[in-house]
A = this chain, B = another copy of it.
Amino acid sequence: MALPAHVRLVEVGPRDGLQNEQRPVGVADKVRLVDDLTVAGLEYVEVGSFVSPAWVPQMAGSAEVFAGIRRQPGVVYAALTPNMKGFEAAMAAGVEEVAVFAAASEAFSRKNLNCSIAESLARFVPVLDAARARGVRVRGYVSCVLGCPYEGEVAPQQVAAVAGELFAMGCYEVSLGDTIGTGTAGKTRALFEVVGRAIPRERLAGHFHDTYGQALANVYASLLEGIAVFDSSVAGLGGCPYARGASGNVASEDVLYLLDGLGIHTGIELQALIAAGERICAVLGRDNGSRVARARRGA
């Protein structure tokens, strides 16, 4: 299978990344981060989340962030909306695309979403229905696709079942997340092989964590399976809640460096992306999690 000519990077730093950072970031810095990212050429940014601030304090102010950003033509600005209350708040804030989040592991679903997989999917039905009625596209996430912190191994067939339900429900794209970063290249290929029988591969995305250093090898393995959409986080924002001090989301800069090297078009300018990451790292007072950014800084 030939490598895809174009890859879309879904930037999850402002949401998935900042949600897992210790230090809270104010609305102005979030707005600046989103704007920096779109200036760098990102065509899809997950801006925030409409959830109870009691559960996720880092995502308070998502409506204000949506109000503050300078919308670029052709860029999708999305938000996570786990339920109808969140969906309605997102619509009130002028959000044009939303996402829902399920798990492939029963134990992870219960610990993280406080409900079974089936209950979480049932909760998304009214969100998908309401979105369809308003012409709003919905992206689906499945977590723990290559391992669960509580259950260990997760069968690809189980991932295919959950992803297939999200797709059948109306999600136009399903992102498969290696939440704990234990996946390796061969298992990644096998996963897309199995899930690709339930959902067309052009409707699948890869979401890799670099906790065990495997993320870029997994991205390359996915490209070889025809996957052309990847989630990543500028500067590797967001640690790993399951291993203190370890890496979480793969850094967007490092994925882009790989794609540039492979001659795959993304429309993203590396130096501008690095600058966006350096700026938010200064705000957070944390080291930059992108190896490319660190190498360029030291060179």
A contact set with B: CB distance below 8 Å: 3, 181, 183-187, 210-214, 216-217, 219-221, 240, 242-247, 251, 254, 257-258, 260-263, 290-292, 294-299
Contacts and interface: CB of A to CB of B under 8 A. Distances in A.
Contact of A211 (B185, B211, B240, B295): B295
A245 B298 contact: yes
B295 A261 contact: no
Copies in the complex: 2
A148 B294 CA distance: 18
Nearest to A254: B213
Contact of A292 (B213, B221, B257, B290): B213
Contacts of A210: 213, 291
Contact of A217 (B258, B263, B290): B258
Contact of A216 (B217, B246, B297): B217
A243 B299 contact: yes
Given A219-B217, A246-B291, A292-B213, A257 B184 contact: yes
A261 B213 contact: no
A196 to B, nearest CB: 19
A207 to B, nearest CB: 17
A215 to B, nearest CB: 8
Contact of A186 (B184, B245, B257, B262): B262
A254 B218 CA distance: 13
Contact of A220 (B3, B185, B251, B290): B185
Contacts of A247: 291, 294-295
A220 to B, nearest CB: 4
A257 B298 contact: no
A184, A212, A214, A242 — which one has the most chain B CB atoms within 10 A of its CB? A212
A290 B213 contact: yes
